[in-house]
Structure 1
Amino acid sequence: MSRYRVTGPQGGAEPGSDGRVLVNKLGITDQKSLDEAEAELLLMLYEAVFADLREDRPLDVALLKHWHRRWLGSLYDWAGEERQVNLQKGGFMFAAAQQIPHLLQALDQKWLQRLTPCCGMDDDAALRAIAEIHVELILIHPFREGNGRIARLLADAMAYQAGIGLLDYSDWDQNKSAYIAAIHAGLEGDYQPMVERVRRAAAI
């Protein structure tokens, strides 16, 4: 049904999709059309976010939820809400659903409050801040769908506030094994591989 294996609620399929497409408000039954709808809405979200993002605005979990709701609210009932299902991809389990509230609180207090906004940081400090927060957010995977794209939007917002500009994710997409390895390294507190991925994306 999804690019992820899921258990529990929020795992329903749209009737008529042969169990392959998430339940959605528009009744879309083929994945390609749903992907296109999400992509169009994401472009609109980017335009809205960067139309009024101040360089000195701290970024927090509440803002991430707002972005997610604004992006996917016309498609899914659970947009902007913490996921209630367990997710795994390629045999890798993301944080258990019941741990998400605690982990998001830690993300706010330990990472986002300390490392955002990135204005005033030198490039090396900003790249490391982006890398650390990206790893932590991906490992939590707080939403039912769209975690990677929200994590990239957050990375772009941080880079913008640092004066670096939006990131180019071509390297991440073309070298997925290196990107995934960088995420896994973060499990052990080693963020340097992700710093290198962010540096490539920033072309610094």
Structure 2
Amino acid sequence: MTRTTGTEAITTTLGESVRAFVPRPLPPTEPPLASASFAELNRQAELALARLAGVSGLVPSVDWLLYSAIRKEALLTSQIEGTQATLTDLFDDEAGLKLRNTDDVEEVTNYLRAFRWVRGQLRDPQGLPISVRLLCEAHRLLLGGARGAGKQPGELRRSQNWIGGTRLGNAAFVPPPPQQVGDLLSDLERFIHVADPELSPLVRIALIHAQFETIHPFLDGNGRIGRLLIAALMEQWGLLAEPLMYLSGYLKQHQAEYYRRLSAIRSEGDWEGWVAFFLDGVVAASGDAERSIIDLASLITADRKRLLESPKAGPISYRLFELLPMMPRFSVEHVRQRLETTFPTASAAVKLLEDLGILTELTGQKKNRVYSYQAYIALLSR
């Protein structure tokens, strides 16, 4: 039996009338979701997340891991939408160094701001729950700045949008008409907060992400907000205490299939194919994050040992080293400010770490030098 996952509604923009897709409320019915087809994959995904949570104890500070994991997710989710910024650009921006592509970096830092705000709300007993209001405010933060100014930041769209093609008439997909977006999001919110869910948390997250992308409630930023929703639900439902997994890496690597699987829900009713793809992604992304943590822990442990064995090492150089995982590129002035010390003292600490092969100077200049924890950045950039 073929499942119908939505209905059609006539929508008109700039004199063109086409059929827009209006999704049915979750969960899938007629027939219900065939959970048995991916039960083992769901078990593997939950185990992979549990292993990832366990391995985070290898590093002295979970803040180090969060610093890199959240930035990788911010970068990769933005790259899916065509942003050209790199991790190095992001680190340079945070160090106050000169940038090449400031608009692209702004898009990534906006995502970071939105993500941190959402986490803060969900951890605050008086904060907003996962809701339309929460997503609208996250959208306002995401689209802050020059590029998002004309895209109605923080507001549900009031006009018809489309995906692919140059106009409505040749679009690859036409989401629901704007007047139906509010009700569709209310249905989605009800599904998120259902009291006694029959489906596992990961399967529900897969369904919610796809439904959000189908509704496409904003003029821009739908993909990034939809992927932010995945991370928020993972934490909210206790699958991962800290957002250490960057699923956007898997989705970027399999971008064509990501879009094809979402499309097959609408065209063929294939919810099962999408859920299996999503669970595969959780297994792969958890494994990647786990290996990354082990590699980072090994690097930091080896470099710390090198520093401790140096007869020239002292309190300032130790403090500088502990900053490196959350400050991998910097100037001496940056170090002076962070350590609240004198310029010569900061400079001597940096020089020691450079002599030990931990830091690399990048400019070759006598003044305004920039230093990098290159081995660490190389691991993060893999």
Q: How does 1:154-165 map to 2 (within 5 A)?
A: 154-165=229-240
Which deviations, in whole Å up to 9, do the C-alpha atoms of 1:93-128 show, x marking residues without a partner? 2315xx13413312322x22123389x979x61122
Of 235, 250, 271 in structure 2, the residue corresponding to residue 191 of structure 1 is 271
What corresponds to 2:153 in structure 1?
Answer: 79
Identity %: 28
1:172 CA drift (Å): 1.1
What corresponds to 2:214 in structure 1?
Answer: 139
CA contact (8 A) 2:216 2:222 kept: yes
Q: How does 1:13-162 map to 2 (within 5 A)?
A: 32-54=101-123, 58-75=129-146, 76-77=149-150, 78-83=152-157, 84-89=159-164, 91-96=171-176, 99-109=177-187, 111-116=188-193, 125-162=200-237
1:189 CA drift (Å): 3.6
- Describe the shift of the 1:134–1:61 C-alpha distance in structure 2 as closer, same or farther (beyond 3 A): same
Q: Secondary structure at the match of 2:155?
A: coil
Which deviations, in whole Å up to 9, do the C-alpha atoms of 1:15-59 show, x marking residues without a partner? xxxxxxxxxxxxxxxxx5432211111112212221331499742
What corresponds to 1:182 in structure 2?
Answer: 261
CA contact (8 A) 2:110 2:144 kept: no
Task: Give, in whole Å, the separation in 2 of the partners of 1:169 and 1:66.
Answer: 21
Q: Normalising to structure 2: TM-score of the pair?
A: 0.40
Aligned positions, number? 170
Higher mean C-alpha displacement, 56-65 vs 184-193: 56-65
- Describe the shift of the 1:117–1:35 C-alpha distance in structure 2 as closer, same or farther (beyond 3 A): farther
Which structure carries more relative contact order (alpha carbon 8 Å, separation 6+)? 2
> One-letter code of the match for 2:256?
S
RMSD: 2.9
- Describe the shift of the 1:104–1:193 C-alpha distance in structure 2 as closer, same or farther (beyond 3 A): farther
* Structure with more of its chain in helix, by fraction: 2
What corresponds to 1:3 in structure 2?
Answer: none
Gaps of 5+ in 2: 1-12, 15-100, 166-170, 287-382
1:138 CA drift (Å): 0.9
State the structure with more CA Rg: 2
CA contact (8 A) 2:251 2:258 kept: yes
Runs ≥4 in structure 1, deviation > 4 angstroms? 55-58
1:147 CA drift (Å): 0.7
